[in-house]
Amino acid sequence: MIKKLAFFAAGAACFFLAGCAGKSSETTTEITEMKAQGTQVADGGLISENGLPMVVDFSATWCPPCQQLKPIFEQLKDEYHGNVDFVSVDVDSVPELAQKYDVHNIPALIFISPDGKEMYRTIGFIPGDSIKRVISQYLD
């Protein structure tokens, strides 16, 4: 019985370590992509490197409303290029950011000022026109 328990514990440890190794790689990739988008992760939060406000999409690949929002988010990213930074954060790849911004439900869009302060937040799917209205409130 003790041998079976030891074998199970060793197997569980290997599974856990393999899972952690994969997560570290995903986190590094996600943060590298954010830096490429002009966003820096500092002190556990997001800061725009170019002084623009940000719209941050906290989502996951397994979330249907998140996937429904993705093409709208990409369209707005192109439309507001140079005026607003659009950053996507996969909550499974970078759970520390989701925790930092107190994200418990997805999709969550968080509007962040150039100095890193949260200005507005939405939870759940939101149409593009509604996102534009919120952006226009903070750009004017």
pLDDT at site 57: 97
DSSP codes joined into one string, 67-85: HHHHHHHHHHHHHTTTT-E
Chain mean position to CA 7: 38
Active site residue ranges? 63, 66
What's 98's domain CATH number? 3.40.30.10
* Antiparallel, parallel or unpaired: β 54-59 and 45-48: unpaired
- Number of domains, the chain: 1
Q: Is the pTM of this model over 0.85?
A: no
User: Is the Cβ–Cβ distance between 115 and 125 less than 8 Å?
Assistant: no
pLDDT at site 24: 41
pLDDT at site 18: 33
What are the residue ranges in the chain where pLDDT is below 70?
1-44, 140
Could you tell me the residue range of the domain that residue 57 belongs to?
2-139
Show the CA angle centred on residue 110, arms to residues 106 and 112, nearest 5°.
160
